[in-house]
Structure 1
Amino acid sequence: MDQSRYKQAKTQRGFTYSYYWSPPALGKPVLFFSHGFPENSFLWRKQVPFFESLGYGLFVPDLLGYGGTDKPTDPKIYTGSGHAHDLADILDAEGVKQVIAIGHDWGVYPVSRLINFYPQRVSACVFFAGSYAPPLPEGGDRISKHEEIKQRFGYDVFAYMRFFVQPDAAAVIEKHIDSFISLVWPETIQLWKDHLCVDGGARAWIENNKQSPLPWYMTPEEKGYLKNAFLTHGISAPLCWYKAMLEETTNEDDASANPPEAAEVKQPLLYVAFTGDCVSLPAMADAVHARYAKGLVTRKEIGGDHWGVESHATELNEILLQWLRGLDS
């Protein structure tokens, strides 16, 4: 991604964001690409040149805690409305009234809260490796509901989260960064089932400095970029996205979205299921969309695991392009 296209803007909350910006050609919409954990805007390196060449506008930020954006380490700051307000401020700075919002992994969260708090700013939405995330004022964190999830799906899907919210998690990860990278980007998805989705498995893998070969879709240069980013910026701020789930302020913030009315998705929604993903399970997404986005969902599938955005970029880009063109017809 062309570094000269990155800009910076300060939000009303006082945070400086770094973001890739490419204005749209006449008549083309702006696509907002929202990355998840633990990548920054680098995640979208295979989407940006493709859609930029077709004239689409591109707004691709390093979200709060990542890359060139500010990195507060108080989980209370990472509320859904906070993300939404920040992003709306940056869109205002660029004179963008409306976007098609596209999220991957944790990136689905700010997309969802834009829909809840600024529905007029989102003309359509897209979810990869995750679903629309409705506001849950009664508390909806996956950490406290792991027994329920284990009984439903047969394994401890979100076991790794209990490590990520521990006080020493960042120090452990940064000390064994190569091990962390090989766990997060596994050579095969079975590694996730054997370690990431086992209570204590993620900590044990990283503390013992276990490593596996890179997956076929990641080059040594790409790994080098990620490693440098993690060591330069640290991992404490990105882990706040997980810790925020346990904060009472998150429940209060979700309540301020005034569900159930604001929780309903009124925009066209594209969901691409990654059928090899054992964490962001398609069955979970399907249940959420059936409840909150009735009759508005276009569902597609690709055979990738959690990182299908990278491993199956050509196929995914074509699915997204055809859906975008369908919005105009």
Structure 2
Amino acid sequence: MDENNYKQTKTKRGFNYTYYYSPATAGQPVLFFSHGFPSASFLWRKQVAFFQPLGYGIIVPDHLGYRGTDKPTDPKLYVGHGLAADMAEILDAEAIAQVVAIGHDWGSYLVSRMLHYIPQRISACAFFALGYLPAEGINTLPLHGEIAQMVGYDVLAYQRFFLAPDAAALIEKNIDSFISLLYPETPESWRDTICVDGGARAWVEGNKTTALPSYMTEEEKKNLRTVLLSGGLAAPLCWYKANVDDANLAEDAKLPAAARDVVQPFLYVAFTKDIVALPWWSDANTEKYVKGPVTRKEVAADHWGISSHAAELNEILVEWIGELALKL
């Protein structure tokens, strides 16, 4: 992604955001790509390389806590309505009325909050791996045991480590180990590491590493390492802390029930080898809340299918957008 295409804007909340922007050619929609943890706008580099030459508009923010964007460490600043308002102001800065919003991981959370709070800015939405996440005002931590019983393993165990007061410092100290943990050579290893109580901490404290996965080059790892260390992990981990913060949960609970329904055209691409973002959970939310037309696809990828199966995903996305254009 060409650094010359990056821009900055300051939102009304006082945060400076960086974002990648390429304008659309006549008649083409603008695609809004939303990244998760631990990544940045460059997560979508293979999608940008595919869609930008086709004339699609592209806007890819570095979300709060990442890369050139501000990095507050108060979890209350990561509440959904505030993040959605920030995104609206980025769109305003480029005079963009509507986007096709595409999310992955915590990026799916942010797209979900945009659907709640600024739905008029989204013409259609797509979710990769992790689907739509409605704001229900529920703390999921007490549910971890119940979820583990349902699934057969402690699927969300790693989140307890990420919420620990010393997690950021420990991760920064052993950053290569952390990258190996989150981007393992063998995706199935997550069952024995991040999905075991204490497993993520033990891995990072032991400074364990593996070879790079096939979809990541040494240069890409170096870039990720630099981005994470340049701002530290305290801010990115706030995405997890905000999700269990009482004030933020109370704010989510205020959302009118009707605002949780999605009426826009909706695409969900399940990654069938994902150990954490299990398709059944996303499918349940789709069935309950999505009232508009739904398209569901599957890709035999792990959590990072955005990179490992980019060509397949790009074809799914461009076909779906093309079908939308015929209907609108």
TM-score (ref. length: structure 2):
0.98
What is the CA–CA distance in structure 1 between the aligned matches of 2:204 and 2:287, rounded to whole Å? 38
Corresponding position of 1:225: 223
Structure 1 residue 261: Cα displacement: 0.4
**Equivalent pair of 1:84/1:117 in contact (CA under 8 Å):** yes
**Equivalent pair of 1:31/1:100 in contact (CA under 8 Å):** yes
Letter in 1 for 2:104: H
Structure 1 residue 32: Cα displacement: 0.4
- Paired positions, count: 326
Structure 1 residue 255: Cα displacement: 2.5
**Equivalent pair of 1:5/1:20 in contact (CA under 8 Å):** yes
Question: What stretches of structure 1 move > 4 A for 4+ residues in a row?
Answer: none
Letter in 2 for 1:102: I
Residue of structure 2 aligned with 1:251, choices 249, 252, 257? 249
User: Match of 1:238, SS?
Assistant: coil
Letter in 2 for 1:30: V
Question: Alpha-carbon deviations, 1:87-145, whole Å to 9, x = none?
Answer: 001111110111100000000111011111111111100001201111112x1x33221
**Equivalent pair of 2:140/2:244 in contact (CA under 8 Å):** no
Does 2:50 correspond to 1:50? yes
- 1:122-201 aligned at under 5 Å gives the runs 122-137=122-137, 139=138, 141-201=139-199
**Equivalent pair of 1:22/1:52 in contact (CA under 8 Å):** yes
Structure 1 residue 295: Cα displacement: 5.4
Shift in CA distance, 15/295, structure 1 to aligned 2, threshold 3 Å: closer
Corresponding position of 2:78: 78
Structure 1 residue 27: Cα displacement: 1.0
Corresponding position of 1:28: 28
Does 2:295 correspond to 1:285? no
Does 2:6 correspond to 1:6? yes
Corresponding position of 2:269: 272
Structure 1 residue 249: Cα displacement: 1.7
Structure 1 unaligned segments of length 5 or more: list them.
none
Letter in 2 for 1:238: P
**Equivalent pair of 1:76/1:249 in contact (CA under 8 Å):** yes
What is the CA–CA distance in structure 2 between the aligned matches of 1:134 and 1:27, rounded to whole Å? 32
What is the CA–CA distance in structure 2 between the aligned matches of 1:144 and 1:97, rounded to whole Å? 40
Corresponding position of 2:97: 97
Corresponding position of 1:325: 322
**Equivalent pair of 1:267/1:296 in contact (CA under 8 Å):** yes
**Equivalent pair of 2:168/2:233 in contact (CA under 8 Å):** yes
TM-score (ref. length: structure 1):
0.98
Corresponding position of 1:235: 233
Question: Alpha-carbon deviations, 1:231-271, whole Å to 9, x = none?
Answer: 1111110000000112112112213321x100000001100
Q: CA RMSD in A?
A: 0.9
Letter in 2 for 1:313: A
Structure 2 unaligned segments of length 5 or more: list them.
none
Aligned-residue sequence identity (percent) comes to: 60
What is the CA–CA distance in structure 2 between the aligned matches of 1:178 and 1:214, rounded to whole Å? 10
What is the CA–CA distance in structure 2 between the aligned matches of 1:270 and 1:73, rounded to whole Å? 33
What is the CA–CA distance in structure 2 between the aligned matches of 1:86 and 1:231, rounded to whole Å? 24
